[in-house]
Amino acid sequence: MMPNIPEALRGDIEALREKLRHHNYRYYVLDEPTVSDAEYDREFLRLQSIENEHPELVTQDSPTQRVGATPLGAFEQVAHEVPMLSLGNAFNEEDMREFNKRLCDRLKSGAPIEYACEPKLDGIAVSLLYQNGVLVRGATRGDGSTGEDITQNVRTIESIPLRLIGEGYPHTLEVRGEIYMPKAGFRHLNQTAAAAGDKQFVNPRNAAAGSLRQLDAKITAQRPLQMCAYSVGWVEGGSLPDRHTEVLHALNSWGLLINSEMAVAQNIDECMSYFQRLDGLRESLAYDIDGIVFKVNSRLLQERLGQVSRAPRWAIAHKFPAQEEITRLLDVEFQVGRTGAITPVARLEPVFVGGVTVSNATLHNRDEIQRLGLKIKDYVVVHRAGDVIPKVVSVVTAKRSEDVQDIAFPEVCPVCESPLETLAGEVVIRCTGGLICGAQRKEAIKHFASRKAMDIDGLGDKLVEVLVDKGLINAVADLYSLEFSALTKLERMGEKSAENLLAALKESRLTTLPRFLFALGIREVGEATARSLAHHFASIENISAASEEQLLSVADVGPVVAHYIADFFKQAHNLEAVENLIAAGIHWPEIVLVPAEELPLTGQTWVITGNLEQISRADAKAQLQALGAKVAGSVSAKTYGLIAGPAAGSKLTKAQDLGITIIDEAELLALLAEH
C-alpha cells in the first residue's frame, strides 16, 4: 500500500529539483553560475535527504540519480532510427571552394550560400534520445546504423540534462553531439593516474573514449567529460526552426551545451576567414579541435541537397593542417587484405605524432614507394591527420646514410605462397589464392559473419581468429560443421556461449539472396549492388553463369565491377565454396522476376514515420523498394502514402492536411504480404 504523501511535499520536492536543474544549466551550459558551490551542495543534500526518507518519490530524471548502482555485463546494440552520417573532408581552400561550387551547381543558383560554422571537437559522436523531455537513451555512433547503448554512462555527465528545461521541445527529440574531455580535465586525470602508478591516457580523445567504454558508470562519473550538441536526428511530435544555427540555440534553451565559437558565414569567403581565425585560436581553446565543420544553414536547402552514400552533401569538415614528424624507417612488411591486396607497411622507429605514438604507417603500393624513392633505414616525414592512418609523405634525403637498403617486393603471397598478379590499369598487387589464402580466409569469414552479411550473432573477429588458428574452420562452410564438444574446449567458451553460437548459425541458414551475395565478399559488391544483382538475375546460378556483358545490364554494375563478379565465379575454389555453403543448408526465398514497370508500387512515393514494432524501418524501406516504390524522408504533395507508427508527429499532421493515404504498421505488413 502506497503511503499517504502530502501534496505539499510532492510540490516541494519537484520545485527543488527544478531549482537544481536550473543551477546545473547555469553552471555547466552557460558557465554563468548564480549561486556558490556551497549553496548548491546544501540544496542537493536537502533533496537527497527527502528522497532517502521517501524513496517512493524518487524519479529517474532527479538530479540525484545520475550514477547507476549496478555495473553492466556488456553494452547492448542500438539501431539508430535516423543514420548518423559521416562527413566528407576538405584539406585546403581549394577543396572548400570546390565544395561550395558543387552545392551552387546542384541548387542551380549563383546566390551566396549561408553556412553554419562550428569547431570540430576531437571527441566521440553520440546520440541522446529524449521522450517527453526525459532522457531515455544514450548511444555511440558505431557504424552509423548501429551503436552501443551507453545510457548509464551519459547520465553521469553534468552537461547532459536528464530532463530538458523550458518548453516547446518535440515529444521525441534525438540530439546528436560530441562527448569530449577538456584539456584541463585531461591533465588532471593523467596527473592523478601518474600519482597512483596507473597507466596514463595518450590524448583527451582516447581518454573520453575509454571513459565511455566503462561498464561501471561510477568510473565514468569520475571522469571530467562534457557533451556539446551539434545537430538533431529523429524528431517527432513537434517542429524545429528553419535554420541549423537556430536549432542549436533552441537546444541550448532546452538545457544542452552548444559551442560558444559557433558562427554564421554569409558566403564561402567568410567561411575561410572563420577557419583562419579558429586556427589561430586553436591552442588557446579549452578543448581539442581538429578542424571546422561547415553546414548549409538552411534546413530546406539541406533537404534539397540530400546525401551521397553515408555523407550529407550539405556539410563538410575542413581539417586543420596535419601534424608531421621525422623518424626512421626500420623495415617494410607486406600484409594481405581480405581481397588479396598486398599492402606494404612501414615499420618505424616510434614517434609521437598528432597525439599518438606511431610505429607503423601505410605505404600504399609499389608506385608510391618508387615515387618517394624510399629505402630501408631512410629518415622519413610521417603525416597523421585526425583518425586517418599515418602515412609516409617524403624522404629526408639530406639525412640518408650509406647503410640504406632497397625495398624488395615479394614474388609470391607472403601467407599462402600463391602467385601474385596486377590487373591492367591497377597498381595494386594481389594474391591469387582467394579463399585458400590464410589471410584472406580469416577476413572473408569475418565479413561473411558480419551484421549486414549473414548476421551470425556471437561470431566476432576474435573468435574467428581462434577458430581458424585452432584448425576448426578452414573455409566459410566449415562454420556450419562446428560441434558443441569442440567449441566448449576453447578458452572462454562456456556451454551457454557454445549453444548460442550454434543456434545463431542454424538461424543464419535462412537468409536472402542479396545478403548471401554480399557475404561472399566479391570485390566492389556492396549491399546495393548485391540487391540489384539478386533482383535482376533472381538466382545464384544465373549470376554465376552471367557474362560481363550481361552483368553490365544491371543498373549498379559498371565494367570494373562486372569484371570482378565474372572473375570471382570463374575461380573453381569460389564456386566450390558457394556449393559447399548451399550444401550446408543455406537457402533463401525464391525471387520471381518482374519487369520494373510491372512492379505493384511503381510510381508511388511512401514515407515512414513513428515507431515500427514488428519490422525495422530499414527492412520496411527495402521491401517497399523491391515492390517498385520510392521511399522518401519527408511528406510533400507528391507523396502517395504515409506509414505511421506510434509517436508519429509532424509528418502525420502534414499528410492529413494534404489528404494523403495513411496506413499503420499492420496495414503495411498486409500490403507487403499481399505482394
> Residue 264 and residue 282: Cα distance in Å, rounded?
19
Pairing of strands 315-319, 356-362: unpaired
What residue ranges in 38-196 does DSSP mark as E strands? 77-79, 88-90, 115-121, 124-131, 134-140, 146-148, 172-180
First-to-last alpha carbon distance for the chain, in angstroms, is 54
Virtual torsion, Cα 227, 232, 236, 237, nearest 10 deg? 70
Pairing of strands 641-644, 661-663: parallel
Backbone φ, ψ for residue 136 (5° rounding): -115, -15
> Residue 166 and residue 558: Cα distance in Å, rounded?
54
> Residue 641 and residue 149: Cα distance in Å, rounded?
33
> Residue 626 and residue 532: Cα distance in Å, rounded?
10
Can you tell me which residue has the cell 577543396?
95
Which whole-number Å values give the CA distances from 557 to 460, 530, 536, 554, in the listed order?
A: 31, 10, 11, 5
Contact yes or no for 175/256 (Cβ under 8 A) = yes
DSSP states along 229-264: EEEEEEEESS---SBHHHHHHHHHHTT----TT-EE
Virtual torsion, Cα 477, 483, 487, 489, nearest 10 deg? -140
| Candidates 19, 108, 120, 391; catalytic one | 120
Which among 153, 170, 7, 146 is positioned nearest to 80, based on CA atoms?
A: 146
- Alpha helices of 437-494 — where are they, by DSSP H? 438-449, 461-469, 484-487
Let me know if 319 is a catalytic residue.
no
> Residue 165 and residue 18: Cα distance in Å, rounded?
8
Backbone φ, ψ for residue 316 (5° rounding): -155, 150
Which among 424, 369, 421 is positioned nearest to 391, based on CA atoms?
A: 369
> Residue 195 and residue 192: Cα distance in Å, rounded?
5
Enumerate the active-site residues: 120
